[in-house]
Amino acid sequence: MNSIHQELVARVYDHILQSANTVLRNCKLFSIEILKLEDPTYAEIANQLKGLCDILDKLQTDDPDMKVLKAHEYADHVRLIAAAIEVEDEESLSRHVEELDRRSFL
């Protein structure tokens, strides 16, 4: 992967991690009723992260730091959290927040 691709992958990866961290922080602070009021919605955020992962897939040729794989994992956690918020499933939300909280964010 050339240096321009590496830099772009790193920037997109960092953005995905920051977004996932924001989602995690908000889910720890606010009730599901408040989370449902967010604009953009968490489902929209998850969709945007999926789009960024699709871009990473197109850029990736070599991923020694596994940033592309990790980006997909964080985006998937956000997608599961968004789905739990949409259907107001407190138990599922708690489980997925806990799983995301165990991630290293590195």
- In whole angstroms, what is the distance from residue 22 CA to residue 26 CA? 6
Chain mean position to CA 36: 17
Encode pLDDT of 37-62 as tens digits: 999 999 999 999 999 999 998 886 67
Encode pLDDT of 77-88 as tens digits: 999 999 999 999
| Domain residue limits, the chain | 15-101
Task: Report which DSSP code applies to 37.
Answer: T
- In whole angstroms, what is the distance from residue 85 CA to residue 34 CA? 10
Look up tokens 């992967």; give the residue. Answer: 1
Look up tokens 């009021």; give the residue. Answer: 37
Q: Inter-axis angle of helices 67-86 and 3-29, to 10 degrees?
A: 30
